[in-house]
Amino acid sequence: LKVKVRIWNDTVSNLTLMALGSSAPEILLSIIEVIGKGFEAGDLGPNTIVGSAAFNLFMIIAICVMAVPSTEIRRQKHLDVFCVTATW
C-alpha cells in the first residue's frame, strides 16, 4: 500500500519558482556589481530591482486584465494570494 503525501502546496511552489525565475537577472546583476566594485554597494543594484519589480507587477496585471474579453466577468479565485503577490 502506497500513500502519496504532498510536501509542497501547489500555490506556494509556483510562487516560489516564479519569484526565483523572475528575480534571477537582478540578483546576478547585483552580485556582479558588488564584486566589480570591490565588495562595495553601488547604485545599479537597488534601482534595477525596484524598477524591474514595478515593471513586472504592472505588466502582469495589465496582461491579465487584457486577456479577459470585455463581455466576460471573472473573479479572482485566490484573492489573498493575489494581494500578497501584489504587495510583496
Q: How do residues 25-46 score in pLDDT, each as one tens digit?
A: 878 888 888 888 888 877 777 7
Helix, strand, coil percentages in the chain from 3-state DSSP, rounded to 5: 70, 0, 30
Q: Residues of the chain with pLDDT > 70: what percent? A: 99
68 Cβ neighbours under 8 A, 6+ residues apart: 74
Q: How far apart are CA 61 and CA 56, in angstroms?
A: 8
What values do phi and psi take at 74, rounded to 5?
A: -125, 155
Question: What average pLDDT does this structure show over 12-26?
Answer: 81
State the first-to-last Cα distance of the chain, in angstroms, to the nearest integer. Answer: 42
